[in-house]
Amino acid sequence: MAFQITASLLDACVLSMLAEADTYGYELTQKLRDSLQVSESTLYPVLRRLQGNEFLKTYDKPHMGRNRRYYAITEAGKKQLEEFYGDWHEFRDRLDGFLGRDA
């Protein structure tokens, strides 16, 4: 992909995925890889930042004799996601003026 993925866009993608369901880091990475080139080493700092901003919370669940850390969106995260949605639509609409094509 020729376009850079910014930190804000990655934050928005993670929050959007977690708004659908709680999940663990590896699963998040795999889902993001379907659309973006993201490694686990890129994702975990994003998760820590979102958690530090109180947009995410964590909890552990046992899985095959070990604990797996799950991430869940908070109310503050849901509010931030709504702001991201608004910003995204405005950004997309502006770019469509330059890059949009009618099929």
Per-residue pLDDT reduced to its tens digit, 50-59: 999 999 999 9
State the CATH number of the domain containing residue 61: 1.10.10.10
Q: What confidence tens digit (pLDDT) does each residue in 60-92 have?
A: 999 888 999 999 999 999 999 999 999 999 999
Residue 51 belongs to a domain:
yes
Percentages helix, strand, coil for the chain, rounded to the nearest 5? 60, 15, 25
The pLDDT of residue 102: 59
Question: Model confidence at 35, in pLDDT bands (50, 70, 90)?
Answer: confident
CA distance 52 to 98: 36
Q: What is the dihedral angle through the alpha carbons of 65, 58, 47, 85, rounded to the nearest 10 degrees?
A: 130
Q: Is residue 2 part of a domain?
A: no
In this predicted model, which residue has the larger pLDDT, 26 or 81?
A: 81
Residue 3 has pLDDT above 80, yes or no: no
Q: Is residue 1 part of a domain?
A: no
Q: Determine, yes or no, domain membership for 42.
A: yes
